[in-house]
Structure 1
Amino acid sequence: MILVTGGLGFIGSHTVRALLDLGEGCVLVQRRAADVPADLVDERVVVERADVTDRAALLDVGARHDITGIVHLAGSMPWPPGSAEPVEATRTAIGGLLNLVGAARAWGVARVGVASTIGVYSGLAVEGPLREDLPLPMTSPHLIPTFKKIGELLNDHLADATGIEIVNYRIAGIWGPREPHGPLFFAAPELVHAAVRGTEPDLSPLHGPAHAEDALDLCYAKDCGRAIALLQTADRLGHRTYNVASGRPTSNAEIIAAIKAIVPDARVDLPAGGSGRRTWLDIGRLQRDTGYRPAYDTERAVADYIAWLRAGNER
């Protein structure tokens, strides 16, 4: 069975669904009690309540289940920022990652996948595709990419030292059903929610004003989950780091046009302008090693998300 940390979360739930579709069973490790979504109610799904920072509790999970792989999607960073004493919060965050690698070694697990982020590319003054082999700056503008860079370096060391295949997932801007953040990082989720509510979008949580021409690599959550599942189950991988993305930039204008094709009177227009910078994650490695192809273009993603919300789901 594949152990998935954060398996009932946003990306985790879509990853578990994709693993089930590939014929795998899953053990979902959650720090807090949570309801199992209807699409994950399956005899091949087991939910264990444990904290990955508790080494004994984590090892106990492996004593009850035959764990053959690990997908680590729970946060490996002090979150929310400033919520705990910083030194101990850092120790706890990194300790959870080390516990999982230690558990993998104890259980004889050959492959561990760990969530990283598109944010590790922040600070690169490049246009066009962002490839995994680009040299990254040592600085980071935010706590999340800071700890993801630390994690990638640790994973590379631990892979060499232990012989375990540890794979970093550099995940793009993910949106779709169960999205928890709203417009914290980009506008697309709130544009769809506003159209379904019949209101104007509240984009105040964004770090700056949103414009129609702003674009980034947006990957629909179902595609993201399938990509991660394929990376976990592939017979052979040729690299330790993979971009998990759509492989193209999507602008707010494209999102708005797709929304208005379904909700013509949606009040989701944004002012013209933007940085004009267009970058995206190159997914050539992912495609070559797993056969992954995105199934959701902008129009299909927007239609699916609107249908999900109209069915009574809050997010």
Structure 2
Amino acid sequence: MTVLVTGGAGYIGSHMVWALLDAGEDVVVLDRLSTGFRWAVPDEARFYLGDVGDRELLRRIFAENSIDAVLHFAGSIVVPQSVLHPLEYYENNTSKTGVLASAAIEAGIENFVFSSTAAVYGDNVGEGLVRESDPTYPKNPYGQSKLMSEMMLRDAANAHPFRYVVLRYFNVAGADPQGRTGLSTQGATHLIKLACEAALGRREALDVYGTDYPTVDGTGVRDYIHVSDLVAAHLNALAYLRRGGGSMIANCGYGAGYSVLQVVESVKRVHGQDFRVRFCPRRPGDTAAVVADSSRAREILGWRPRHANLDHIIATALDWEETLQARRQGDLTTIHRRLAASF
């Protein structure tokens, strides 16, 4: 059978495609390339250029391929942008997830893995680890758009032969240890990527938003999970659904948090270079600390993380930034040669 990966040209999606191919799966990718890259999709995967909300395109994809599962990564993810443009986030993350789920049900596809977020919990996280049973009070439209999608999947599963696993991501970071893909989007807001760019001299300074949170050093605390461990959780979720497992929600994090300043110190330590840090006011929509209780993923899905070390996460991110820089320089060289040849 075949797996459809939406957003498979993006950061997490491209890692997922490689992991599926490594596992011997047949893979189809759907991506509109708004933030993803065609080169990030391996040649072994069949690629469709288009929007996940295009119902006719989805029908064609399902008709042309023997798909038995959907892994849904496509969506918008920048919290401050969601505050400024909430309707775009509800359209792209919520409405289009409904279109995709409807098309999958129409095609008789029962297995669906959904990319959700710890942002669904909002500030209601207390002082301990965040559990899936904790109340959900999203603080921003991004988190709300994902929670609404979770609700739609729950109701769809109650009404149709359709089962899902919702994986609530904490802070995803790092890159493929084999150097095949990584976070490549220009203008990305992920802390570790920005810190790596600052360490490599590609930005003047790293901005730290908020120094007055009730945390160990006043900066925000997050649970950083290596992208390879995250996609491993998806592989486990896929196997679970194919065995007939029931619909469920699971956190994906390590259960240990690091502050922004602790991440900064790790980047400096791993790279061996200092860089400038600027302290700025809090951003709207951010929370003080969010750390996962991932025992459900471990116990039910059999998830066993292999990359739970902050320095290792940062080392793979730094390696990818250097690979990406070399790639971009190579692309510019090719363009210059083509321009020279045209004269």
Task: Tell me if both proteins adopt one fold, taking TM over 0.5 as the criterion.
Answer: yes
Deviation larger for 46-55 or 77-86: 77-86
TM-score when normalising by structure 1: 0.83
Pairwise CA RMSD of aligned residues?
3.4
Aligned-partner Cα distance in 1 for 2:113–2:186: 23
Residues 267 and 286 of structure 1: is their aligned pair in 2 closer, same or farther, counting only changes over 3 Å? same
Aligned residue pair count: 305
Amino acid at match of 1:295: R
**How much has 1:191 moved relative to structure 2?**
1.4
1:178-210 superposed Cα distances (whole Å, 9 cap, x missing partner) = 1537674x6332112211227653327x4x359
Write out aligned runs for 1:87-102 (5 A): 90=90, 94-102=94-102
Aligned-partner Cα distance in 1 for 2:128–2:157: 30
Aligned-partner Cα distance in 2 for 1:232–1:218: 23
Aligned-partner Cα distance in 2 for 1:32–1:312: 17
**How much has 1:114 moved relative to structure 2?**
1.4
1:267 — aligned with what? 275
User: Helix, strand or coil for the counterpart of 1:130?
Assistant: coil
**How much has 1:60 moved relative to structure 2?**
0.6
Residues 129 and 152 of structure 1: is their aligned pair in 2 closer, same or farther, counting only changes over 3 Å? same
1:197 — aligned with what? 201
Aligned-partner Cα distance in 2 for 1:309–1:146: 32
1:298 — aligned with what? 310
Aligned-partner Cα distance in 1 for 2:237–2:172: 17
Aligned-partner Cα distance in 2 for 1:28–1:276: 34
2:323 — aligned with what? 311
CA contact under 8 A between 2:83 and 2:140: conserved in structure 1?
A: no
Aligned-partner Cα distance in 2 for 1:83–1:46: 35
> Aligned match of 1:284 in 285, 288, 295?
295
CA contact under 8 A between 1:76 and 1:96: conserved in structure 2?
A: no
Question: Are residues 1:229 and 2:235 paired?
Answer: yes
Aligned-partner Cα distance in 1 for 2:162–2:108: 9
1:264-307 superposed Cα distances (whole Å, 9 cap, x missing partner) = 23225688xx9996541111111122322222211111111111
Structure 1 alignment gaps of length 5 or more: none
CA contact under 8 A between 2:118 and 2:290: conserved in structure 1?
A: no
1:251 — aligned with what? 259
1:6-52 superposed Cα distances (whole Å, 9 cap, x missing partner) = 010111111112222222121101124864346x4242x11012222
Deviation larger for 210-219 or 58-67: 210-219
1:149 — aligned with what? 147
**How much has 1:81 moved relative to structure 2?**
4.8
Aligned-partner Cα distance in 2 for 1:53–1:307: 35
Amino acid at match of 1:129: L
CA contact under 8 A between 1:27 and 1:46: conserved in structure 2?
A: yes
2:128 — aligned with what? 128
Residues 3 and 158 of structure 1: is their aligned pair in 2 closer, same or farther, counting only changes over 3 Å? same
TM-score when normalising by structure 2: 0.77
Residues 125 and 215 of structure 1: is their aligned pair in 2 closer, same or farther, counting only changes over 3 Å? closer
